[in-house]
Copies of this chain bind each other. A is one copy, B any other.
Amino acid sequence: MHLPVDFYDGVAARLRSRLDDEGLDGVLVTHPADVAYLVGFFYAVTERPVYLWFGTDGARLCLVPELDREYAAAQGIHAEVGTYFEYPGVVTPEQHLAAELARRGLSAARVGVTGSLAHGSLERLRAVLPAVRWETTSAIASLRLVKQPAELVLHRQAAAICDEMLAAGRGLVEDAIASGRPLPTEGDLARHVIGYGTDAMYSRYDRVLYTTKLAGGLVYAGPNSAHPHGLPSRRRLERGDTVILSLGAAVLSRFVESERTFVIGEPSDEQQRYFAVTRRAQEVGTDAMTVGRTCASVNAECLDVIRDAGLGQRLRHRQGHGIGVAQHEAPWVEDGDPTVLAAGMVLSSEPGVYVPGHGGYRISDTVLVTDAVPERLTQYPRTLEENVIAA
């Protein structure tokens, strides 16, 4: 798992240009995903802040807690490294940062920060750097909208693993049925697919790095699947269940999601109907992810398939979201996001239908917007026939 130095140089050049346009002297980067994106440093996130000063003049200084000093160097971080000892510190991390900025003549600079910065941290920064003009910038989020070719290689690798995780989950259920053993619980299935994905990462890649996780998954079946974001339970799967495997995987924190709805045994009329509507919405919505369309219009076209089928009351969420160094990131495939799609954006397409007491239906692919038709990076079969588990 790695990205070439060219990637980081390119990102830095583009960010400098944006900061220049905004009249900023630099940006103080505080979100772990932004730090990973800009300088390739991946770390266990705690209350100890990491402050990356990214100057419009090209300076990159990453202030890390002492416990990450050698680790940052071992990762080949694309920045100079400074340290503070600990949190909260007799001399606080913010005081260390203020001293570094003062040393560089930046005590009254115009400094961008992202909206994700905790306001308590911003208050501490204002106290130690009273002359700095703090401005909220979305320059980094904008850069991250369009993925670079080197990143797409990683997204494709993650997609392959995520599809295999779906197959592994299905396999666990099939093996139980074939051998006459009790079906697994939701928790068993979650553990199994996450384990498969984790193992795949360690067996395929030399230096495994991540921001939040390598592989993750929510698994819910029967009535539990009507909760779109329910946590796995100890409920054992049953014949007749609708089962959602909602899986994610990331190579060097380039995420994908792949989600499928399975039915154990012969699907009922009700299951066939809900599945069919969900699948049609996902086809229509995915096909609509083309250059020049807005997120809002794509989402409306997708969800209209469900509304037009008389299931508007069963909607619980939008069509999808951007996906990159964070599992969920801009743009949002939702009515309130006017972002115009461009080639190189990577989006989830995951409409769903949820019937309290009965179950839920969601099919999700990770989709690359291209100059031609949208490309599904995840490719696990999507038809009901292919997602029935014989029992």
Q: Which of A13-21, A223-231, A272-280 sits within the interface? A: A223-231
For A316, list chain B residues within 8 Å (CB).
66-67, 69
The residue on B at minimum CB distance from A138 is B120
Question: Which bracket fits the contact residues of A?
Answer: 35 or more
Residues of B within 8 A of A70 (CB): 226-227, 356
Q: How many copies of the chain does the oligomer comprise?
A: 2
Query: In the complex, which residues 333-354 of chain A have their Cβ closer than 8 Å to any Cβ of chain B?
Result: 334-337, 354
A92 CB-CB contact with B under 8 Å: yes
Q: Are A88 and B119 in contact (CB under 8 A)?
A: no
A328 an interface residue at 8 Å Cβ cutoff?
yes
Interface window among A2-10, A173-181, A184-192, A367-375: A184-192
Contact call A118/B118, Cβ cutoff below 8 A = yes
Query: How far is B208's CA from A205's CA once the two chains are assembled, in angstroms?
Result: 33
Q: Give Cα distance in the complex from A90 to B300, angstroms.
A: 12
Does A268 reach chain B (CB closer than 8 Å)?
no
- A88 vs B329: C-alpha distance in the bound complex, in angstroms? 11
**Is the Cβ of B118 less than 8 Å from the Cβ of A86?**
no
The main secondary structure of chain A at its interface with chain B is loop
Q: Residues of B contacting A354 with CB < 8 Å?
A: 67
**Could you tell me the distance between the alpha carbons of A44 and B190 in the complex, rounded to whole angstroms?**
15
Q: Is the CB of B71 within 8 A of A227?
A: yes
* Least CB distance, A204 to chain B, in whole angstroms: 9
Contact in complex: A115, B118 (CB < 8 Å): yes
Return the CB mask of A299-327 against B: 1 if under 8 Å, else 0: 00000000000000001111001000000
- Are B90 and A227 within 8 A (Cβ)? no
Q: Does A122 contact B (CB under 8 A)?
A: yes
In-complex Cβ contact of A86 among B119, B229, B334 (8 A): B334
Are B230 and A71 in contact, CB atoms less than 8 angstroms apart?
yes
Which residues of B are found within 8 Å of A202, using beta-carbon distances?
185, 187-188, 232, 234
Seen from chain A, the residues whose Cβ lies within 8 Å of a Cβ on chain B are 42-44, 46-47, 65-71, 74, 86-90, 92, 113-123, 136, 185, 187-188, 190-191, 195, 198-199, 201-203, 205-210, 218, 226-234, 315-318, 321, 328, 332, 334-337, 354, 356
Can you list 30 A-B pairs, Cβ within 8 angstroms, ordered by A? A43-B229, A44-B231, A47-B332, A65-B317, A67-B227, A68-B228, A70-B227, A71-B227, A87-B318, A88-B332, A88-B334, A90-B336, A92-B336, A115-B119, A115-B121, A115-B123, A117-B118, A117-B119, A117-B120, A119-B119, A119-B122, A123-B136, A185-B202, A188-B202, A191-B198, A191-B199, A206-B234, A207-B233, A208-B231, A210-B231
